[in-house]
Amino acid sequence: MSSAIPDSVPLRRHLASWVNRVRGREDPNQRAARQHRSFDAMSGILAWMLSHAGERLQPAGRPRGRALEIGTGQFMAHAAALYVCGYDRVLTIDRYRQVVPALVRASLETPVLARRLLSPYVDHDDYVARLRRLETTQYDLGRLAETGVEYRAPAEASALLAQDERFDLVFSYTVLEHVPPAEIPGLLDSSSRLLAPGGVALHLIDLEDHRDPRADPFAFLSPTGMWSDEACGERGNRVRRSRWGQYFQETTSLNWTFPYAPVRRDAPLPPRLDAAFQGLDEADLRTSALLAMAVAPGTD
């Protein structure tokens, strides 16, 4: 009888979420937690991003040591995947306290594909042991920190510089496009100085208008006048590929490469462009995402 009590709460939660799904009333964030923000999906993205670093991950192409994630979001799926694929310490920070424990649990509810997707980086027994360790915390933030996965929010990358800790990986996924342009140089400078010698930086930036990325990914390039910080948060900061290249090269001492920068031609550009984008070539305007990678000097 007593052992039935702890199980009844997850069961009730599970049933309620099924009922909402069947009625078509599922919360969009819950849907994201099961779909494109699931632990499976985010493990795939992580594996793909790490694959661009290849042997530059130390030692010998393996993710090991300390990872810093900038911009946790609501789901914490990348922080979990970073831990599961081999990093023993994962510090995940966010400017705003966005994490929702129910979404974290939903994202990690039934991993199926992650063990295959992360297999280049972690052997099966280690994968299972690490995932179990996370599961035993029931994704309680305090207990997660005991495993090595620490969530800190509100927090800024620049504030971490005062501490001694440096990281073998500095990582972000769909975060930099939300940073207001005036703050980009400071964030890139701080985050690159947080790399340990030989550490790898990997940032995936989504360059599409987040309002309707499927049908109208470049709508925000039309004349608008002022583009507010709120608009950067909701739809993206509109910074184009060539300008990102300048930001990375000019504000850090690292040598950046951009191994993924797809040009999207299936959607229209606005008939008139905002003055900020006039004179840019069409491929620059149409670049829809950017993966930026750099390696800090030294390997000690």
Ligand X SMILES: C[S@@+](CC[C@H](N)C(=O)[O-])C[C@H]1O[C@@H](n2cnc3c(N)ncnc32)[C@H](O)[C@@H]1O
Residues lying near ligand X in the complex (CB under 6 A): 37, 70-73, 75, 78, 93-96, 98, 156, 173-175, 178-179, 187
CB of 20 to ligand X, least distance (A): 21
Single-letter residue type at 244: W
Q: Which CB atom, from 71 or from 111, has the smaller least distance to ligand X?
A: 71
Q: Which CB atom, from 94 or from 168, has the smaller least distance to ligand X?
A: 94
Q: Which CB atom, from 93 or from 285, has the smaller least distance to ligand X?
A: 93
Q: Which CB atom, from 174 or from 242, has the smaller least distance to ligand X?
A: 174
CB of 165 to ligand X, least distance (A): 16
Q: Report CA torsion sign: 135, 137, 140, 144.
A: negative
Q: Which CB atom, from 48 or from 96, has the smaller least distance to ligand X?
A: 96
Q: Which helix (H) or strand (E) holds 104?
A: helix 101-107
Structure tokens at 170: 């500095």
Q: Which CB atom, from 58 or from 81, has the smaller least distance to ligand X?
A: 81
Q: What angle do CA 158, 161, 164 make, to 5 degrees?
A: 160
Q: Which CB atom, from 65 or from 73, has the smaller least distance to ligand X?
A: 73
CB of 12 to ligand X, least distance (A): 27
Among 90, 2, 96, 94, which residue's Cα sits nearest to residue 46?
Answer: 90
Output 10-16 pairs: Cβ under 8 A, ≥24 positions apart. 13/102
CB of 27 to ligand X, least distance (A): 15
Cα distance between residue 300 and residue 196, in whole Å? 9
CB of 76 to ligand X, least distance (A): 8
Residue 282 burial (CB count, 10 A)? 10
CB of 273 to ligand X, least distance (A): 25
Contact 189, 251 (CB under 8 A): yes
Q: Which CB atom, from 27 or from 156, has the smaller least distance to ligand X?
A: 156
Q: Which residues contact 47 (CB under 8 A, 6 or more apart)?
A: 85, 117, 118, 120, 121
How far are the Cα atoms of 7, 76, 183, 188, 208 from residue 91, in angstroms, in the given order?
31, 11, 22, 17, 28
Contact 272, 259 (CB under 8 A): no
Among 237, 239, 236, which residue's Cα sits nearest to residue 247?
Answer: 239
CB of 59 to ligand X, least distance (A): 27
Among 190, 231, 221, 199, which residue's Cα sits nearest to residue 287?
Answer: 221
CB of 87 to ligand X, least distance (A): 16
Give the residue nearest to ligand X (CB). 73
